[in-house]
Structure 1
């Protein structure tokens, strides 16, 4: 795994340089370190880059808690990955949580407001990543490197790190596009703290992220040639393919041809392969999987957090489930699936489809009570146990990595883009890609595919991986009443919801801090 060798002084300097307009980030430097002193030594650059990656996995500068990167919310609940997962899964037909922490039930029910703490924290995490990435990019320009006399391999490494920082900033801005739409915009060209960032449109931000990813595409390491856990060329291409598949939603203009092109780039590089065993993708040694393109990495010893995979494994264990079977010291009795997800499979025993990883003993399929863990079917997909059956390094904090991007999604992206009319591919190949996934799952192959089948196949292949809200919106199944699931709109049977919920609101706190911002329609 990519180990985060983070220096406290470096982190303090970075905290002092945050430039987002979010008003509750901790911007106070706690250590006598300056940007100049840190960047004077190129040996520090990889440590700072490690911090940028760590923003996705840990919640602060002291694991698992104690020195949070953002304030105003419980640190354990405000981890980037944990927030991303909750906002992408809990409002959908795939998962519900039993707890009553703060406003979490509003996320379950899609009844949130602009003052919601979890939504605000996700927004803040995004701009924390943008701000720290901007600082790194600003301090590693060719001009800055030359001024400091950084040359040779050190300069080459610094330029490669800069491309990765640009990728991480693009990833954060992609999440902003997907969840918030029109947001404040800052780059390394903007002096820290000198102005209130201006808001740009969703389409404008899409164009910027697209240009950034294309600019760094060849600057990143070749697919699978770099260090595990770091972005390579395939990660940038996969993110572009994902953006193009959703471009109609984000910009009003379909880009299915481009979605085919970029999915093909990842597939045709032949660097990433399907894992022979689906279940192994979600175990404690999934860092050995040939399929995962870009993970959010975790280590029970080195990246301790109450968010991330620690949350995702513990929270899915409860009722009569044995926590030790999942490599943890106890279940948190939180997350279960709705019947809409389990109904996507022929059965819940993984007999007809090996991807059907659920626990049914003592559980009821219908979630008649959101606060009762035994109402609903928990998934056994994620475990802190290796493919050899050995527990992770800690039974509290999890070793399993989160597969943010993997090859299976590129197969399904190619297939959907072709079915939607994208050129550069063909239907026979699209069907063959779907059948590669079904064959691995020991499911019967298909001879034809349509959009509804592909949405179902994405649920079977990618459930609980943070795709579902985006998928349902792309299919026009999230808002409105065309498709219902338990507790949609706050009632057990589900009901139609307003189209405003296709976007999360700009947090009320940021509207106060930056009066030039305009709220998303309906909030």
Structure 2
């Protein structure tokens, strides 16, 4: 049951969160609680692990207004310091899938127009938030070494459990380094082995970071708990497999060398582990979606009572322009998030009567986004709904209706099916076109309410089709920018959408925008860093 772990997470996080700094990534959070008191018992280690997970879903700091690592412009709006909101905005608002109405919100103006710089608060905020979680991971990994367990007299089953916790922390660190590699290319780098308080991190090149992430995930594979055997929402072997499949699908972008065969290998591991599709697409992003154990691989758990902040899935549910509260399961909307007409056009029938994935709210909304910052231009979405599959209110909804219970899928099996198909089409071995077609048609059969009317035949399974299908299947799940970069359609003129490059019909932009800049503040404080080309 997800609530039990969330409560542990919240308590541990609020007790121990403090300040940190990316110019010294391995510093401990600063407060009165030392490692010798936190980690002296097995329960203390579990609370330490809970703090690591909590950094995904909570935003608190010693002042209670946001993550300590988020620039001051972001802290003014606490919800903007949430990892998911920052990550989602950079993955979605920069693409055809989303726009945000309120241009005065710190960092928003310039994302859709692709005119951001090294002082953009959202660009900087994600960078610092990812490093904050890496800092927590490094501390936990350091404190859970065999030498420290022995020193503290922790042996037997307790020690074995803590070694599993350690593998989970290494997975989360690898995931956040993947985020930094994907988004920023060449970030600073530190592990648990860097000396506390004396080391200024060196910059790591993208290809070298790829190799590090790959080696970490393979090293911990046998230490992680088997699929379906861990406490929700903790990482299992399957989470490492899913991240490896995504890593390898994008390997050519990161290193110049394709690794599609490896992507297929890890897709097959997940298929062999009996993961598959949940029967109802519209139940993937609702208040009791933690029950979708067949499809869910790794989730960020949110809870309307115990993880209250204005980011995460609360942002994705409340944020939709014009969406009534009785549909979203909240107390109303913020008038913000809208789709471009280019994205809506990926669906032959935007009503949702044909393809149920088309969850658009159209009442009072114009399809065409003729004005980027007008809340009625662009359909909004009802994909995230704070209700259970029976239509009942969320189980842990706060009385005011402000916060939601919806867990966010960082990895789910729908992505893996499409990764397999794309990797086969790009020449990877270990898979075949017949299976790829079958997997895609399973997605489309579910999308068409169990009917085969939307199924395709082999000559329709092309790379362009896969990109469009990823849009239809995975929209608003923080994958679109990475996909468009891989298909060479993010900055180029090969695909234009409304307000790309700051013009109503869209235009190509400089290739430098395929990655984000290193924050100017970090360049000033760390002499080891060199800015990404073009910024």
TM range (shorter): over 0.9
C-alpha contact 2:28 2:136 (8 A) present in aligned 1 = no
Q: CA deviation at 1:245?
A: 0.2
Q: What's the counterpart of residue 445 of structure 1?
A: 455
Q: CA deviation at 1:335?
A: 0.5
Q: What's the counterpart of residue 45 of structure 2?
A: 45
Q: What's the counterpart of residue 276 of structure 1?
A: 279
Q: Secondary structure at the residue paired with 2:298?
A: strand
Q: Secondary structure at the residue paired with 1:188?
A: coil
Mapping for residues 396-407 of structure 1, pairs under 5 Å: 396-407=402-413
Aligned residues: 516
Q: CA deviation at 1:69?
A: 3.4
Q: Secondary structure at the residue paired with 1:56?
A: helix
Q: CA deviation at 1:19?
A: 6.1
Question: Is the aligned partner of 1:88 residue 2:98?
Answer: no
C-alpha contact 2:139 2:192 (8 A) present in aligned 1 = yes
How far apart, CA to CA, are the structure 1 residues paired with 2:301 and 2:206? 29
How far apart, CA to CA, are the structure 2 residues paired with 1:342 and 1:47? 44
Q: CA deviation at 1:15?
A: 3.3
How far apart, CA to CA, are the structure 1 residues paired with 2:198 and 2:135? 13
The superposition leaves residues 279-299 of structure 1 with CA deviations (integer Å, 9 ceiling, x where unpaired) of 000100001012111111100
Q: What's the counterpart of residue 481 of structure 1?
A: 493
How far apart, CA to CA, are the structure 2 residues paired with 1:450 and 1:22? 46
How far apart, CA to CA, are the structure 2 residues paired with 1:428 and 1:27? 52
How far apart, CA to CA, are the structure 1 residues paired with 2:387 and 2:512? 41
TM-score under structure 1 normalisation?
0.95
C-alpha contact 1:241 1:263 (8 A) present in aligned 2 = yes
The superposition leaves residues 359-407 of structure 1 with CA deviations (integer Å, 9 ceiling, x where unpaired) of 1111111111122111001011001111111122221110001111000
Question: Is the aligned partner of 1:206 residue 2:210?
Answer: yes
Q: Secondary structure at the residue paired with 2:18?
A: helix
TM-score under structure 2 normalisation?
0.93
Q: CA deviation at 1:47?
A: 1.1
Question: Is the aligned partner of 1:177 residue 2:189?
Answer: no
C-alpha contact 2:298 2:411 (8 A) present in aligned 1 = yes
Q: CA deviation at 1:102?
A: 2.0
- Note the residue ranges of structure 1 that are not aligned, 5 or more in a row: none
Question: Is the aligned partner of 1:152 residue 2:156?
Answer: yes
How far apart, CA to CA, are the structure 2 residues paired with 1:252 and 1:240? 17
Q: What's the counterpart of residue 109 of structure 1?
A: 113
- Note the residue ranges of structure 2 that are not aligned, 5 or more in a row: none
Q: Secondary structure at the residue paired with 2:86?
A: helix
C-alpha contact 1:345 1:353 (8 A) present in aligned 2 = yes
Mapping for residues 255-334 of structure 1, pairs under 5 Å: 255-270=259-274, 272-289=275-292, 290-316=294-320, 318-319=321-322, 321-334=323-336
How far apart, CA to CA, are the structure 2 residues paired with 1:86 and 1:209? 24
> Which sits farther off after the overlay, 432-441 or 355-364?
355-364
Indicate how the Cα distance of structure 1 residues 62 and 487 shifts in structure 2: closer, same or farther if over 3 A, else same: same
C-alpha contact 1:42 1:154 (8 A) present in aligned 2 = yes
Question: Is the aligned partner of 1:131 residue 2:131?
Answer: no
C-alpha contact 1:4 1:54 (8 A) present in aligned 2 = no
The superposition leaves residues 48-88 of structure 1 with CA deviations (integer Å, 9 ceiling, x where unpaired) of 1111111111112589x536333422222111010010000
How far apart, CA to CA, are the structure 2 residues paired with 1:387 and 1:9? 31
Which of 483, 494, 498 is 2:506 aligned to?
494
Question: Is the aligned partner of 1:471 residue 2:483?
Answer: yes
Indicate how the Cα distance of structure 1 residues 211 and 172 shifts in structure 2: closer, same or farther if over 3 A, else same: same
Q: What's the counterpart of residue 369 of structure 1?
A: 371
Indicate how the Cα distance of structure 1 residues 22 and 29 shifts in structure 2: closer, same or farther if over 3 A, else same: closer
Q: Secondary structure at the residue paired with 1:294?
A: strand
How far apart, CA to CA, are the structure 1 residues paired with 2:15 and 2:304? 24
Q: Secondary structure at the residue paired with 2:361?
A: coil
How far apart, CA to CA, are the structure 2 residues paired with 1:5 and 1:28? 19
Q: What's the counterpart of residue 193 of structure 2?
A: 189
Runs of 4+ in 1 over 6 A off after TM superposition: 7-10, 25-28
